[in-house]
Amino acid sequence: MTNVEDLEQIRSSGDVVWENRRYGALYVVDRAKLEADLKGHIPVLHLGQIEAVQTVRSSVSAAHWLTVYLHCNRTVARERIDARSTGDTEARLRAWDETPPLVDADFAVDTGSVSPGKAARQIHERFTRLA
């Protein structure tokens, strides 16, 4: 989370790795924060576009990335969107329809058939193998 002034500074320094506007919000990945997170943590990025994944991965190519394609069918997506009551169901379903599968992910998890706990364990196991 940031403010307009800080975002303009990040942009002017050339540190915006990815920027996307959707659902009335602006989502930005900035290089300095990403690199700092990579040094002390295992950052998790939620990116909804293939171009975003490719751009972020190549922006810090020395990192060991684990790319997970989390997906569910449209019926499950609609149920989850409706449950959130954000008021923009059609826009979110349009985005769902426009988003192609991430075919070059390291692995995929169907979140409609796998519990959050099991998905987290699968991701942790895969990540542990990288280390």
Are residues 129 and 91 both part of a single domain? yes
Are residues 125 and 96 both part of a single domain? yes
pLDDT band at 62 (very low <50, low <70, confident <90, very high): confident
Are residues 51 and 16 both part of a single domain? yes
What is the rounded (10 degree) CA torsion for 70, 73, 74, 78? -70
At residue 96, does pLDDT exceed 80?
yes
Element (H, E) at 39: helix 31-40
Are residues 32 and 77 both part of a single domain? no
| Strands annotated E in 59-121 | 68-71, 107-110
Span 47-58, average pLDDT: 93
Span 44-72, average pLDDT: 92
pLDDT in tens, 6-35: 889 999 999 999 999 888 888 899 998 899
Are residues 103 and 130 both part of a single domain? yes
Q: How many domains does the chain have?
A: 2
Provide the domain limits for residue 32.
Answer: 1-61
Are residues 118 and 86 both part of a single domain? yes
Three-state DSSP state, 71: strand
| Strands annotated E in 7-105 | 16-22, 25-30, 68-71
